[in-house]
Amino acid sequence: MTRQAPAAPSRLDFATELTRWEYAAAPETAQVEIAARYGHFIGGEFVAPAGGGGHFASINPATEQPLCEVAQGSDADVDAAVRAARDALPAWAGLPGKERAKYLYRIARRIQERARELAVLETMDGGKPIRESRDVDIPLAAAHFFYHAGWADKLEFAFPGRRTDGTPVPPVQPVGVCGQIIPWNFPLLMAAWKLAPALACGNTCVLKPAETTPLTALRLAEICLEVGLPRGVVNVVTGDGRTGAAIVNHPGIDKIAFTGSTEVGKKIAAAAAGTDKRLTLELGGKSPNIIFEDASIDQAVEGIIEGIYFNQGHVCCAGSRLFVQESVLEEVVEKLRIRMASLRVGDPLDKNTDVGAINSKQQLATIRRYVEAGVAEGARLHEVNGRPLPDRGYWCRPSFFTGVQPSHVVAREEIFGPVLAVMSFRTPEEAITRANNTPYGLAAGVWTDKGSKIFEIARHLKAGVVWLNTYNKFDPASPFGGFKESGFGREGGLQGLRGYVRI
C-alpha cells in the first residue's frame, strides 16, 4: 500500500484553512488554532486517510458549531498504524529506560507549557467546564507522564525476579504493540493514562480517541513530534466504533487497553478470546456514596456535588447512588437542594461555570430517557436549579431523585449524566449490602468522622477505589480499576505497569 506523505510533518498540511478561536473568559485571553481538517498521525506524520474512510465533523456541544473535520479511520489506516508501531518497536523497546524517560519528561513538560491551549481545546471539543479542564484534566495528564517517566529506568526494581538457580531474570520486556481505545469524558487524561505507562515500559501504541472528542489526542500527537519522539512509537487513528473494532481485530496488536462502556467492553473481550492478545478493561460503574449520621454534613454535601455533578456526571466512577443514614436524610436532602440551586450551568468557557454542556446530542437523549424512566417508575424528581440555559447546545439541569427503590432503573443502570439517585439506610451492615448490590464495582465514597468505621466499611466494599471523606480524587501513583462488570486490570501506580510488561 502506498501512502501520500506530506512534505512537512504538521497538522497544517491537511488544513484547508486555520480558524483562530479567541477565548476571553479566562483571566487572560488565549488563542487556539484549529485546522479545518485533520488526518491520522501515523509513523510520525499527519497523513490523509486511506481506504475511503472520509471525514466527519467534531462539534462543540455547547454551541453545536462544527470545529473541524477529522478522519474516519478505515481498516487500511489501522493497518498502516499497526505496521508503523511494529516497525518502531525494536528500537524503542531496546532503548535504555533512562532514555525513554527523557521523552516522557519532555512530553509532560510540553503538556504543561501548552496547558492553556489544551484546556481550551478540551472544553471546546467536549463541553466540560474550563475550570475542570484547566485544574484537573490537563495537570493530571502531565502528572501521568511525569510519574511514568520516573518508572522507565526502574522497571527491574518494580518487577524484581530470580530464576530458580538464583541468577537474575533478563530485563523487563514490553508486551509489544498496544491498541488503546478511549472514551470522551476525559479525552486527554485517558490518552495519558494509556500512553504514559505503555511508553515507559517500551511498548509502541495505536491510540483511538472517541469520535466526539478527538482534538486533544491529535494535539498530543503534535507534542510527540515536537519532543522528537521516534516515528511510529505513538500513532493516533481517529474514527468511530468501527475504527476501534479494526484495532481490536488486527492480528498485529499484542495488547488491547480499553476504557469505555461495559457493553462494548464485553464485545471486545469476546473478540480477544482465543487470541494471544492481552486485555485490560476499564468499564462502567454505578458507584455508591455513603453518608453516615456522624459525618460532617456540610462537607459531605460538597462531596455529593463533586461526586455526581463533576464533568456533568460523565464520570465512570461518579457517586451516582447516594445512601444517607435515615436520621440525617432530611437534613442532607435540604442542604443538597440549597447547594444545587447555586450551581452555575452554562458556557463551559466561562471560568465560573460549574456544570457545562452534555458531550453529545446522543448522550443528552440517553440521560433524558433515564430521567423519564425514573419519573415513570414513581421516584420524585428534584430539579432545583432553575437558571436559564443557553438556546443552542446540549444542556441538562443537574437533578436528583428521592423515593428511589433499589429495583428502579435509575438506581441500577449507569446514566452517565448529572442525575443522582438518593436512598437511605439504617445500619452500617445495610449500607454495605445495598452499596454492593450492583453488577459494577468501580468506586465508592464513605463519609463519617469515626476512623474505625472508615476502615471497617472500606474493607467490605467491593470497589476498586474507596474514597474516605472525599470523592473523585486522582493521583497517578494510585491504581484505578474495577471489580465485577467494571472491568479488570489497573491503571496508575505500580499495579498499572503490570499490564504493559511481560513478567
58 binds, among ligand NAP, Mg ion, none (CB under 5 to 8 A by kind): Mg ion
Under a CB-based contact definition with an 8 Å cutoff, are residues 162 and 168 in contact?
yes
Give the C-alpha separation, 111 to 115, whole Å. 6
45 is a contact residue toward ligand NAP (CB under 6 A):
no
Task: Tell me the site size for ligand NAP, rule CB under 6 A.
Answer: 29
- The C-alpha cell at 162 is 530470580
Select from ligand NAP, Mg ion, none the partner in contact with residue 385, using the beta carbon and a kind-dependent cut-off of 5 to 8 Å. Answer: none
Contacts with Mg ion, residue ranges (CB under 5 A): 58, 125, 212
Per residue, the 3-state secondary structure of 398-428, as one string, reads CEEEECCCCCCHHHHCCCCCCEEEEEEECCH
Contact 180, 257 (CB under 8 A): yes
Q: How far is CA 334 from CA 126, 320, 329, 331, 486, in A?
A: 32, 18, 9, 5, 32
CA 80 to chain CA centroid, Å, is 26
Place of cell 531496546: 94
Q: Is residue 479 involved in binding ligand NAP (CB under 6 A)?
A: no
- Taking CB under 6 A as the binding criterion, the range among 85-93, 123-131, 206-214, 224-232 that sits at the site for ligand NAP is 206-214
Nearer to Mg ion, 123 or 486 (CB): 123
Q: How far is the CB of 212 from Mg ion (least distance, A)?
A: 4
Please tell me whether residue 259 binds ligand NAP under the rule CB under 6 A: yes
> Catalytic: which of 205, 224, 316, 317?
316
Please classify residue 252 by burial: count the beta carbons closer than 10 Å to its beta carbon, then call 0-12 exposed, 13-18 middle and 19+ buried: middle
Q: How far is the CB of 130 from ligand NAP (least distance, A)?
A: 20
Whether residue 430 lies in the annotated active site: no
Q: Return the range that interacts with ligand NAP (CB under 6 A); candidates 40-48, 180-188, 325-333, 388-396.
A: 180-188
Q: Where are the alpha helices (DSSP H) in 239-352?
A: 241-249, 262-272, 297-309, 326-341
Active site residue 201: no
| Shortest distance in whole angstroms from residue 43 CB to ligand NAP | 22
Cβ nearer to ligand NAP, comparing 133 with 185:
185
* Distance in angstroms (rounded) separating the CA atoms of residues 484 and 131: 33
Q: Residues 132, 282, 306, 414: which is the catalytic one?
A: 282
Minimum separation from the CB atom of position 211 to Mg ion (A): 8
Q: Which residues bind ligand NAP (CB under 6 A)?
A: 181-185, 208, 210-211, 240-241, 244-245, 248, 259-261, 264, 267-268, 282-285, 316, 414, 416, 442, 482, 487
What residues are annotated to the active site? 282, 316
